[in-house]
Structures are given as C-alpha cells and as structure tokens.
Structure 1
Amino acid sequence: MTDVATRPSSARRFASLAKRALQAELWVYSSIGRAIARRPAIEPGGTGIGYHRPVLTVLIVFIVLSAIEIPILDLIVHPWPAVRIGVLILGIWGLTWMLGLLCAMLQRPHTVGPTGIRIRNGLEIDVAISWSAIASVEISKRVDEPKSPRVSDSAEYAERMQDETNILIELERPTPIRLPGLAPRGGVHEVTRVRLWADDPRAFLDAARPFLLEG
C-alpha cells in the first residue's frame, strides 16, 4: 500500500493536471503545424514506425462526426446568439483537438535512430531509451487484460495499442523511464523490459538491427 505521506497532495495533483492540460493543448497545435509543414518528429538518421493503424478508423469517424455536429448544433441554437457563440467555440475546439491528436499520432511515431529508441503514443508519451541500455529487440505479440497498468510489478513497461503489443525490448539493466503525471502511475519508474505496439514490427526490427550490431 502507498504510504499516505508519499501520496501527492490535492494541490500537487491539480497543478500536475493543469500543467499536463496546457502541454497537451500546445502539442495539439504543434502537431498540426508539423503535419502542415510535413516535418515528423524523427531524429536525423532515424526511422519512424507508426502505431496508429488499430485506432485510425475510429479517430477518422470521430473527426467526421465532430465536423458534422458543428453546423447541426449551430442551427439548433441559432435563435440564442450567446449560446450559439459558446457552442460554436466548443465545437471548433473539439474538432481541432481531435485533428491534433490524429496529427500527433502521425507526426510523432516511434523512432529508431542513432541515439536509441523513442516510444511514443499520442500527445504525451515520449520515452527515450539509449542503445547502451538495450540488450535485444524482438517481435513478440501479446494481448493484455483491458486497463492493465503501463508499468507492472515485474518492472515491465508496456505501451499498448488496443491492449496489444508486438515488440519486446530487453534491457541490460534496470533503466529509469519517466511517464506523464504523478506517482504511482506516472513519474519515474525503473524497468527491465519494454513492450510496445508497432504497425510494422518487421520494419521496426530491421531499423534496430544495425544499431544493435554496432553495440
């Protein structure tokens, strides 16, 4: 059981949530900007591997529905200008947020490059692991129980997509990673293995192999 003294206070939790909300808002617009400029977040000499395929259709459906909803709601509240403006602002903000999330998934892929592997997911997750900490990379598919924690009691970090992972990274030693939010779910965790989902696990392995051989 977590010691009461180590639990974050209500003020700390609120401050953390507010900071994450602000950062997510900024990442939404920066991701849209990257998409417009066609500049994915991939380091020089690196390879980007997507992870969005399992949820792409759902995201597109939500975006289309959000876009259709805006004029429909505008017609409904047309007689009340104050309500109409508020609904319009919320509708445009929601649509922008959904577009930003899609752009983040497309423009911030997992990367395999000279400095190591970066594991990403949407707006917040960006976990970097250097090659010096990596022992091996292999294709290993697994389906976990829904709502399983990212970091297990066995010091395994899993960045799933639809509860699935298909890449296993074994680490040379316990390695600290930082997840968004406060402990116990967020913050710094020491892990000995990492699992993640890649749309093309073979391409992920092929991109990692030259760097592993160099090591």
Structure 2
Amino acid sequence: MSTAVGTDRAASGLRGAWEVVKRALRMELAIYASIGRFIARRPAIERGGAGFGYHRPVLTVLIIFIVLSAVEIPIFDLVVHRWPAVRIPLLVLGIWGLTWMFGLLCAYLVRPHTVGPAGIRVRAGLETDVLLQWDDIASVARRLRVDEPKSPKIVETGDGADAARMLLLRVNNETVIEIELERPTPVLLPGHGAAGGAQLVDAVRIWVDDPTAFMDEVRTYL
C-alpha cells in the first residue's frame, strides 16, 4: 500500500513539474511572439474588432525596469570582463532578462482587450486570454473597484442562491469595467489550483485605460 501511494505521489510530482515546464515554455514563446507582433505592428485584434489597452498604470514601471536592465549589462560586463567563465553566462543572462522585459512590455501593447463581433476578449499579461461571447453577457457597466494588494484573482461573493464567483483581472489592484454574465460561464485561466485551469464565473472585472471608448464600442453590440 505504501509503495503504491509513494508511486502515485512521485507520478503526481512529475506531472506537476512537467506542467510548470510547459507553462514556462509557453510564456517564453509568448515573449518572442509579442516582440514579433510589435515589430510587425500587428496587434492581436480580430477582424472588425477594436482594441483597448490596459498598460498605462504599469508603463512607467516597465520602462524603468527595461532601462535598468539595459544599463546593468555593460556595467557587469566591465566588472567581470577578465573572467570569461563568469562574463559569458552573466552576459547571456543579462541579454535574456532585457529581452524578457521588453517582450512583456510588447505583450501589454499588442495583446489588448478587444470588443468585436465575436464578443469581448479580455486579456492580462502573457497568458490570460478569455473570450466572452455576446450570448453569455448580460450587461457591461463602468464601475471602479480598488482591492487590497495580493487579493485573489477569483472572488466569491454572497451565499446560497446569491452566491457568485467573480474573475478580477486587475492592474495596480484596480478594475473599472464589470461584465456580468447570463449564467455561470467556464473560462480557462493559466496555471492550476484554486485560481487556474477551468473555472466557472458569474462576472468578470477588468481594467481599461479608456473606459469611455470601451463602453461606446460595447453599446454597438449590446
């Protein structure tokens, strides 16, 4: 019995490790895909749809990190240039880190929320990409909400018949658009556990840089 339990735990651990590796690879590919879209000026917006950014609150921070990463590379290279065994790995790591930060910035720019014939597509960073079809949407409203830092992505409200689950895609702990759904709707989120994988949600809240333009576009479909 104990041997079987140990084997199951080992297999579960391997599956978990493999999922982590696959997620890391997907994020790495997303970085380079975002850079490619940025260079080609091809944001991920469906035909007939309109894109709405959510990067303004974090833009300054991202640019600062990119500049600091770029400055660190020649400084460290100057310090360790006499030791090739140290210099080369640090140089590779520095270039990779700079590329990653630039790719993250590109992801914010070329993967906006979209409103189009298929519905509202909400995004966050490199991984989250959820399409909410118009048939599933009950209402869309402009409502500012500010949460505590490190609040969970999935929030449960009420109890019994009034219980509801809400997905919050915050930027700087804030959301400004609330999308209520007709019924509990499955969404696929990155990762696994309580806030990852397939989740049933009754509402979605997002941050949009220009909520007025977003609502104007939504009104053409609802």
Report whether the alignment pairs 1:195 with 2:205: yes
Aligned pairs for 1:131-210 (under 5 A) are 131-154=134-157, 155-210=165-220
**1:48–1:112 Cα contact (<8 Å) kept:** yes
Report whether the alignment pairs 1:92 with 2:95: yes
CA distance in 2, matches of 1:78, 1:87: 10
The TM-score normalised by the length of structure 2 is 0.90
Name the structure 2 match of 1:9: 12
CA distance in 2, matches of 1:101, 1:20: 15
1:127 offset after TM fit, Å? 1.0
Name the structure 1 match of 2:75: 72
Letter in 2 for 1:89: V
Report whether the alignment pairs 1:46 with 2:56: no
Tell me, which stretches of 5 or more residues in structure 2 are unaligned?
A: 1-7, 158-164
1:181 offset after TM fit, Å? 0.9
What secondary structure does 1:28 align onto?
helix
1:169-189 alpha-carbon deviations (Å, 9 max, x no partner): 011111000100112220111
Selected match of 1:117 from 111, 117, 120: 120
Name the structure 1 match of 2:161: none
Rg larger for: 2
Total equivalences in the alignment: 206
**1:170–1:193 Cα contact (<8 Å) kept:** yes
What secondary structure does 2:91 align onto?
helix
Q: What fraction of aligned residue pairs are identical, expressed as a percent?
A: 63
CA distance in 2, matches of 1:22, 1:87: 21
Tell me, which stretches of 5 or more residues in structure 1 are unaligned?
A: none
**1:13–1:182 Cα contact (<8 Å) kept:** no
1:45-93 alpha-carbon deviations (Å, 9 max, x no partner): 1010000000000000000000000000000110101211100000000
**1:168–1:195 Cα contact (<8 Å) kept:** yes
The TM-score normalised by the length of structure 1 is 0.93
Letter in 1 for 2:118: T
Name the structure 2 match of 1:20: 23
Runs of 4+ in structure 1 over 3 Å off = none
**1:179–1:186 Cα contact (<8 Å) kept:** yes
Name the structure 2 match of 1:58: 61
CA distance in 2, matches of 1:9, 1:140: 42
Selected match of 1:211 from 209, 213, 221: 221
Provide the aligned C-alpha RMSD in A.
1.3
